[in-house]
Amino acid sequence: MSTIEALEKQLAAYRLLDETSDAIPFRLAPDLSRLLYVGPQAERLLGIAQAHWLVPGFLDARLSDEQRAATLEQFRIVIEFGASHEAEFRLLRDDGSWAWIRCTMRAFDGMVAGHLLDITLRQRLTADHAQLQRLEAVGRLASGIAHEINTPLQFIGHSLEFLGEALQELLPGASAELRADSEEALARCNEGIERVTALVRSMRTFVHAGAPQKTPADLADLLRSAIAISASEHRAVASIVTELAAIPKVRCFPGELGQVFLNLIVNAAQAIAETKRRGTITVSTRVDGDAAVIAIADTGGGIPEHARARVFEPFFTTKEIGRGTGQGLAIARAVLDRHAGSIDFTTELGRGTTFTVRLPLTSLPA
Amino acid sequence: MVKRILVVDDSLTVRHQVAVALRAAGFEVVEAIDGRDAQDKLDASIAMVICDVNMPRMNGLELLETIARPMPVLMLTTEGQTTLIARAKAAGAKGWIVKPFRAELLVAAVGKLVGAP
């Protein structure tokens, strides 16, 4: 074997190693305008078609707005000063989701050469872990606050009742106008108290709902609680319409189902918010044969075609990291599995999405 | 002898960031608050200059004009100052770094220009 043949064989062996590794080799042009080469595994590992990588302006188009300038500056310095460097950034995949990448690089023959490693999962786990801890802390806090609010609420209520009666005795000497105004003020106080009481009761439904076994629960109550708790998400962007049929109680894990309804309502509100138009969330229930059917419909932009098959996948999200965990619908499906139920959706671009939850009514007490 | 680097910036924060990064890498740092101050402190012991552009009294480009050519000068710029960068290059600057910068890349650039501490 000649020296050249031996070298070629060795080169082929190195290339094979490089092109089958999880670390994707790449080379970037000196002016950063385009990639000159990317390993063939890039499409499979990062979800960006092979042809797209080599298009001029690829990095400009695929880096996020907040990272673009800083990331390109790092590449520039590596070339200009012959440095080696490690950077982390995210790239837009073809399906609209983000891939987090760890990039090791060095200057090579006037270019940047290096490897890209997909760290999306690690990035998500870290973000999710933080998010879950935050939620857990908020849950504990909410439980404590709900309890603490309840006691003063009760004595405010009782005192108002007393004041109402006392006013009846005090007012006869007052003008008709003062009497009317006072009674109206009292009525407003009572209405406020009722609203706060209802909200606190809703919070307690959620917080105390981690029952170890299934208990009969009123779906309408769970839905109303979910609507009340998520008010801050939907009030500004949507009107809520409820069409709640009379449905017998369902044996379920109320906390888990409540969480599912809450997630669906929050998702609906966010879908509407993205359209920048005020919309409607319709929450309805009905009985269909031996199943209770709960539908949550929004007038948002609909789910894009490429995302439809993946919405129930754990970690799939098109939202910013830290905003959506990509867990909401995955958890919903798991919860419905535990209830021998199902969750599905219909969607139309520009018209909105309807999520439909089915729960069996069969094993119910009368 | 440890190499001394003159850091010229009217922002205390930037001077501090640059100084911390360079000292951690083993360099010695002399700080100046503008071009005039830098002129007073620039002597034979200085190995290179890292210099902001916009400063009171004497700015970075004016300072650059007064520095003899063999002295490496690295400019600190803010994003989008392309004409300034071109003028600085023409006046003999060895390169530029955009603020906010990565400490390890600044150190790599300095190492490239003056060698090990």
Query: What chain A residue is nearest to B98 in terms of C-alpha separation?
Result: A73
Whole-model pTM: value is 0.57
Kindly report which listed range (A109-118, A163-172, A203-212, B43-52) carries the lowest average pLDDT score.
A203-212
What does the pLDDT read at residue A308?
A: 82
Range with the lowest mean pLDDT among A167-176, B12-21, B25-34? A167-176
- The pLDDT of residue A74 is 92
| Longest Cα–Cα distance in chain A | 119
Check if B86 contacts A (Cβ < 8 Å): no
Rounded to an integer, the average pLDDT of A279-301 is 94
Domain count, chain A: 2
pLDDT score for A251: 87
**Looking at the structure, do residues A77 and A155 belong to the same domain, yes or no?**
no
Size of interface A-B (CB pairs under 8 A): 31
Min Cα–Cα distance to chain B from A348, Å: 43
Q: Kindly state whether residues A78 and A197 are assigned to the same domain.
A: no
Find out whether A357 and A340 touch, Cβ atoms under 8 Å: no
Long-range contacts of A143-147 (CB under 8 A, 24+ apart): A143/A203, A143/A204, A143/A207, A143/A208, A145/A203, A146/A200, A146/A203, A146/A204, A146/A207
Same domain, A80 and A192: no
Range of the domain at A34: 3-118
As a whole number of Å, the end-to-end CA separation of chain A is 87
pLDDT in tens, A347-364: 999 999 999 999 998 654
Rounded to the nearest angstrom, the minimum Cα separation between B32 and chain A is: 25
CATH number at residue A69: 3.30.450.20
Give the minimum alpha-carbon distance from A184 to chain B in angstroms, rounded to a whole number.
60
Residues 65-104 of A with CB under 8 A from B: 69-70, 73-74, 77-78, 80-85
Chain B positions touching A85 (Cβ under 8 A) are 102, 104-105, 108
Mean pLDDT, residues B85-101: 87
Q: Quick check: ipTM above 0.95?
A: no
Instruction: List, for residues A112-136, the tens digit of each pLDDT value.
Output: 999 999 998 888 777 767 766 666 6
Residue A110 and residue A131 in one domain: no
How far away is chain A from the Cα of B38, in angstroms, using its nearest Cα?
25
B106: Cβ contacts below 8 Å, ≥ 6 apart: B18, B21, B22, B50, B97
Q: How far, in Å, CA of A249 to CA of A54, rounded?
A: 59
**Comparing C-alpha atoms, which of A90, A74, A94, A75 is closest to residue A123?**
A90
CA distances from A11 to A2, A23, A174 (A): 14, 18, 102
* Chain B residues 98-117 within an 8 A CB cutoff of chain A: 98, 100, 102, 104-105, 108-109, 112-113
Q: Which residue, of A97, A118, A139, is where some domain finishes? A: A118
Residue A116 near residue A103 (C-beta atoms within 8 A): yes
At B2 the three-state DSSP class reads coil
Residues A234 and A310 in one domain: yes
